[in-house]
Amino acid sequence: MDFAELWDPEPGWLNTASYGLPPRVAWEALQGVLADWRVGATSWEPWDESTTRSRESFARLVGADPADVFVGSTVSAALVPIAAALPDGAKVLTDDVEFTSNVFPWKVHEDRGVELVAVPGDQLVAAIRPGIDLVAVSAVQSSTGAVLDLAAVVAASKEVGALLVIDASQALGWLPLTVDGIDALVAHTYKWLMSPRGATLGYLSPRLQERCRPSAAGWYAGRTVQGSYYGSQMDLAPGARKFDQSPAWFSFVGAAPALELIEQIGVETIHRHNLDLANEFRAGLGLPPSDSAIVSTNLAGAQQAFEAAGIRAAVRDGKLRASFHIYTTTADVHQALTALKPLLQKQLEGGLGPG
């Protein structure tokens, strides 16, 4: 089956690492509820069924129990209870190019002695030593596309008794992942999960749930949501649901069918498709194959060449970043390489290798 037919991309979209394009089924679901909202055709409860569907689909994608999955709006807000639970003087280890949604929540606790240690990605596993209380790192780095050796990080963290918190925003949806050995795994869904911005999902291990205070608890974190509207009594939901933030309904209306479609296609299928195209692009640049759907290059003039050709990518940390997902086609890759061909020829004549 040609899965690309389930989307409606304009040719030349190579920027899923910034935001993913909605599959038609998600777009149509969202249009339906927006039409209902416009005229007041229904109450909100039918919209909220999508939150439950999203939670359950996310749980299946990462091999978790839905009872250990919470919903929210942003990665940084999802990490707040974990950071608050760290003891004074705790030491947190991260990658030195980590996206700041997985940096600032720890650094704001520096006034009570929490120390953030940042090392280059290729030194991360070696830096997981006694004295590290928590490792906070992305499964795939936003700026470089580097894929974490998750098995090695899990093993090293377990050996020293450190908690492990994974930001899977640049991974989940194309890279096979499970929560085995992980204490928290959080992902915003608007990138590779191709959902509206505003829907974040996360896993909290039972041992971490016990350590964290649900300090942002509101009516949606109640054991019975509709029984938690009013009054001074609090009866929070069991499991990770007590960490729920009141969901942005329409974001989850788009997220549920998008996540379920990823399940239907299969992450392994998406993984192969994305890597095939990314490595075809890398080969055209003269780069060796990689294990990432994100390609980062410092080819001089690449951004301008892409813009002139109508190709949408991004620049991160001074490098052109192209990202390849299930709706990307071989024609997109060829269009991109054609746009860069004069630059590659100039580079070759100058005796410079790509980087």
pLDDT at 2 over 90: no
pLDDT at 215 over 90: yes
Half-sphere exposure of 281 (CA within 13 A, CB side): 32
Has domain 43-264 been given CATH number 3.30.870.10?
Answer: no
pLDDT at 351 over 70: no
pLDDT band for position 353 (50/70/90)? low
pLDDT score of 3: 79
Model pLDDT for residues 12-36, shown as the tens digit of each residue: 999 999 999 999 999 999 999 999 9
Tokens of 48: 């909220």
Model pLDDT for residues 89-143, shown as the tens digit of each residue: 999 999 999 999 999 999 999 999 999 999 999 999 999 999 999 999 999 999 9
pLDDT score of 348: 76
pLDDT at 235 over 80: yes
> Mean of the per-residue pLDDT values for the chain?
96
Nearest residue to 10 (alpha-carbon basis) of 311, 232, 307, 286? 311
Tokens of 69: 């999955």
DSSP alpha helix (H) spans, 93-203: 104-107, 124-127, 150-160
Burial profile 230-243: b = 16 or more Cβ within 10 angstroms, e = fewer: eeeeeeebebbbbb
pLDDT at 149 over 60: yes
* pTM of the complete model beyond 0.85: yes
Q: Note the residue count of the chain.
A: 355
**C-alpha separations of 168 from 150, 292, 326 in Å:** 11, 14, 18
Indicate the domain borders of the chain.
3-22+266-349, 43-264
Which residue type occupies 166? I
pLDDT score of 219: 96
Percentage with pLDDT > 90 across the chain: 92
Rounded-to-integer distance, Cα 310 and Cα 211, Å: 50
Which overall architecture, per CATH, does domain 3-22+266-349 show? Alpha-Beta Complex (3.90)
pLDDT score of 355: 57
pLDDT score of 317: 80
Model pLDDT for residues 287-341, shown as the tens digit of each residue: 999 999 999 988 889 999 999 999 999 988 888 999 999 999 999 999 999 999 9
pLDDT at 349 over 90: no
pLDDT at 354 over 60: no
